[in-house]
């Protein structure tokens, strides 16, 4: 489901949200809601999170990266990468994202992360590869600090690719929808995965390639 299809649903839910007015993130969140892009705009913020688990029940955000893109042009000067001070040990997840407990000692507080993200997201649609995972953690963070889900429109390059392959009648095998494999189909260069900023940039490039491919086939 693309962000245009859920645009009105987000707008309806905003008016019913009960916010924690005392938290500094709340006015930033309201500002994001007030600056929602119109459906014909093409302003995105590609975001990736590295977490200690695939579940919000026992996982934490360990790092976050993002970069903006306008009309499929990636704005490298907007790129940001943040390490987050974890409350618990990263445990065995370090084997995936290569972040150790000692790497996160000087990390930012989650509130500082959300403030920075909301500043960057104003007037933009969020962009993820596998949005359900990242949005689950962002919604939990926003609930903890602001008393509501993030309620920002987003698009998902994984869903876009799945829809394209299904439309082409192709059988989708295990691993076909990973970020690396999706990029490979568009002949994009290989990037080492599981670094939040690298993956945000990789997602932005993949989205631009998907849009270019879609235009060339219309």
Residue 125: predicted pLDDT: 93
Q: How far apart are CA 84 and CA 97, in angstroms?
A: 13
**pLDDT surpasses 90 at 108:** yes
Range with lowest mean pLDDT among 5-14, 120-129, 174-183: 5-14
Q: Which two tokens stand for residue 188?
A: 């994009």
**pLDDT surpasses 50 at 107:** yes
Q: How much is the average pLDDT of 35-64?
A: 90
Rg (CA), the chain: 17
CB 36 within 8 A of CB 158: no
CB 126 within 8 A of CB 151: no
Residue 1: predicted pLDDT: 43
Q: Token match 């309806």: residue? A: 12
Please report, rounded to a whole number, the percentage of residues in the chain having pLDDT higher than 70: 90
Question: Which comes out higher in pLDDT, residue 94 or 67?
Answer: 67
Please report, rounded to a whole number, the percentage of residues in the chain having pLDDT higher than 90: 62
**pLDDT surpasses 90 at 112:** yes
Q: How far apart are CA 3 and CA 12, in angstroms?
A: 14
Long-range contacts of 162-165 (CB under 8 A, 24+ apart): 164/210, 164/214
What pLDDT band is residue 185 in, cutting at 50, 70 and 90? very high
Residue 13: predicted pLDDT: 58
Average model confidence (pLDDT) across the chain: 88
For the stretch 132-144, pLDDT in tens is 999 999 999 999 9
**pLDDT surpasses 90 at 17:** no
User: Rounded to the nearest 5°, which phi and psi values hold at 139?
Assistant: -65, -40
């Amino acid at each position: 489901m693309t962000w245009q299809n859920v645009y009105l649903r987000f707008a309806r839910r905003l008016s019913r949200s009960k916010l924690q007015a005392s938290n500094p993130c709340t006015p930033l969140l309201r500002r994001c809601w007030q600056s929602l892009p119109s459906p014909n705009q093409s302003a995105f913020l590609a975001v990736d999170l590295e977490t200690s688990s695939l579940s919000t029940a026992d996982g934490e955000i360990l790092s976050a990266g993002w970069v903006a893109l306008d009309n499929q042009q990636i704005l490298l000067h907007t790129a940001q990468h943040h390490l987050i001070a974890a409350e618990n040990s990263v445990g065995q997840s370090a084997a995936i994202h290569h972040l150790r407990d000692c790497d996160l000692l000087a990390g930012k507080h989650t509130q500082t992360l959300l403030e920075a993200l909301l500043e960057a997201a104003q007037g933009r649609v969020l962009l993820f590869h596998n949005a359900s995972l990242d949005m689950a953690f962002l919604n939990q963070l926003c609930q903890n600090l602001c008393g509501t889900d993030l309620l920002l429109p987003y698009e998902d390059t994984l869903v876009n690719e799945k829809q394209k392959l299904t439309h082409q009648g192709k059988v989708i095998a295990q691993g076909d929808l990973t970020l690396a494999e999706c990029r490979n189909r568009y002949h994009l260069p290989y990037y080492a995965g599981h670094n939040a900023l690298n993956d945000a940039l990789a997602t932005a490039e993949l989205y631009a390639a998907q849009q270019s491919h879609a235009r060339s086939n219309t």
